Amino acid sequence: MALLISPSILSADLGNLERDLRACEAGGADSIHVDVMDGRFVPNITFGPVMVETCRAITALPLDVHLMIVEPERHLEAFARAGADALTVHYETCPHIHRTLQSIRELGMKAGISFNPGTPLDPLRYLGDVVDQVLIMTVNPGFGGQRYIPVSELKIKDCAALLAEEGSEALIQIDGGVEAANIARNYQAGARSFIAGTAVFRHAGGIAAGIQALRAAVAD
């Protein structure tokens, strides 16, 4: 399966967002990742539907939106209208997770579920039929630029085995501390979609070089 790179605009220069998104396009990004934080589920506050609308007006790349918020079910329609192509919610914030994932699909978006580093993956046994992507957090959510948690590689392997056992073709994503030094190990463990902020937008050679460095690390 192909390697997918999704730059997170959490690390972009928001004063030059169009420039940065164009550079992502030119560099071969597969999608754009938008981290939505509410200051309640996680400490930080970031974006909302208006930012998704802004990105949609700039780029035709798929917009992969990650809701790190409480009561995400209240906002699904707003993000669908804003132009999100995929919407990921946290298992930890959804008491009716099956219904929430169904609703995301009914709104025409891919449905994703995310698990914090300390959350077991067991619920996936009952959700394989309503999940398009599984996002494994490889840092504790809330801030960009954090250091990758090494034990995440084992969790990715467990996730791949569980999905295979359930006959699910859901895509495994990882988010947090992704860089050239660890991406190959995580690809071998079963991850196929990599969300990267600092490694792309703060790369010394520029955005396109950051994307290319991640791809080259897996190819090598």
Catalytic residues: 35, 175
Q: Which residue has the tokens 């979609």?
A: 193
Burial class (CB in 10 A: 0-12, 13-18, 19+), 24: buried
**Burial readout 53-83 (b: 16 or more C-beta within 10 A, e: otherwise):** bbbbebbebbbbbbbbbeebbebbeebbebb
**Burial readout 159-193 (b: 16 or more C-beta within 10 A, e: otherwise):** bbebbeeeebebbbbbbbbbbbebbbbbbebbbbb
Question: How far apart (Å, rounded) are the C-alpha atoms in residues 122 and 90?
Answer: 14
- Sign, Cα dihedral of 104, 169, 183, 30: negative
Neighbours of 107 (CB within 10 A): 15
Query: Which conformational region is residue 28 in: left (phi greater than 0), alpha (psi within -120 to 50 degrees), or beta?
Result: left
Question: How far apart (Å, rounded) are the C-alpha atoms in residues 78 and 158?
Answer: 34
Indicate the helix (H) or strand (E) that contains 134.
strand 133-137
